[in-house]
Chains A and B, each alone.
Chain A
Amino acid sequence: MFSAYLENPTQYFFEGQDSDEKIVLLVRAHLITNLSWIIPAILIFLIPFFLPSAVLFLGFDLFSIPQTFLSALLIINYLLVLIITFEGFLYWYFNVNIITNKRVIDVDFESILFKNIDTAPLSMIQEANASVGGFLGIIFNFGHVFIQTAGAKVAIDMKNVPNPSLVADRIMDEAHGVVGP
């Protein structure tokens, strides 16, 4: 359910899916990329443990503030942790790349009020390039897949997907299955 690489998922559907359209592959960013929000969330979670000593060092006793105010500040701190965690999960879970038996779809939620969906029919796909780079990318085998269509521009880019060469190969296999050998 929380995998970043799903072949033939049966419980996943998308907006605008045709009745005869079947999801062949669903990929999202590699699990390890979630560290970009997990680490800040942990650091903010730990702030209340270190803040009293830090402000005491500056000559201010935090506990001289009324208890209700301290409780409110503590709640704000943990609400911040909650929102970072929730938003991080949402962006990871719902930013997906879908390969069906008809087309390739890139769903991007780039901010809270911005949605972008790129679609390319398999018959229009000319090539799919995979690239792996960076320290974590090499270790955990994730990277980018760029799909070029007949329009001579990179129509779809899949970012930080696991097994990028396998994904690119799968896309080309599906495209050849439609266009022919």
Chain B
Amino acid sequence: MITNTGALFNVTTIIPFVKLAILVILFFYAIFALLIVRQVDLMSKTLITPISPVVLAASIIHAGFAVGFFILAFGIL
């Protein structure tokens, strides 16, 4: 059991809050990443440039990682 009795905070009491905070942050981050895909799509249609497809691909990969991290954190924490 992990405890740090001499410290200002007790580790065992804050762990559930840290877990909840991490999951909430990663959940909203995943939502935000999906919104960015839509935003980049809109931007790429408004201004068509040579790097528009690259930026769109980057945003899709980023959203995939964001959703993946949320699922991973949900599983291992």
Contacts and interface: CB of A to CB of B under 8 A. Distances in A.
Interface of A: 1, 11-15, 58-61, 64-66, 68-69, 72-73, 75-76, 79, 82-83, 86-87, 90, 93-94, 96, 107, 109, 112-113, 115, 117
Contacts of B48: 12-15
24 contacts: A1-B49, A1-B50, A12-B48, A15-B46, A15-B48, A60-B8, A64-B2, A68-B76, A68-B77, A69-B15, A69-B19, A69-B77, A72-B26, A76-B22, A76-B29, A79-B66, A83-B29, A86-B36, A93-B49, A107-B46, A107-B47, A109-B42, A109-B43, A112-B35
A83 B43 contact: no
Interface in B30-75: 32-33, 35-36, 39-40, 42-43, 45-51, 55, 58-59, 62, 66, 69, 73
Contacts of B69: 75, 79
Contacts, number: 94
Contacts of B45: 15
Contact of B36 (A64, A68, A75, A112): A112
Interface residues of B, number: 38
Contacts of A60: 4, 7-9
Contacts of B15: 65-66, 69
A58 B4 CA distance: 13
A87 B36 contact: yes
Contacts of B26: 72, 76
Contacts of A109: 39, 42-43
Contact of A59 (B8, B18, B66): B8
Given A64-B2, A65-B18, A79-B29, A94 B8 contact: no
A75 B62 CA distance: 13
Contacts of A65: 2, 11, 15, 18
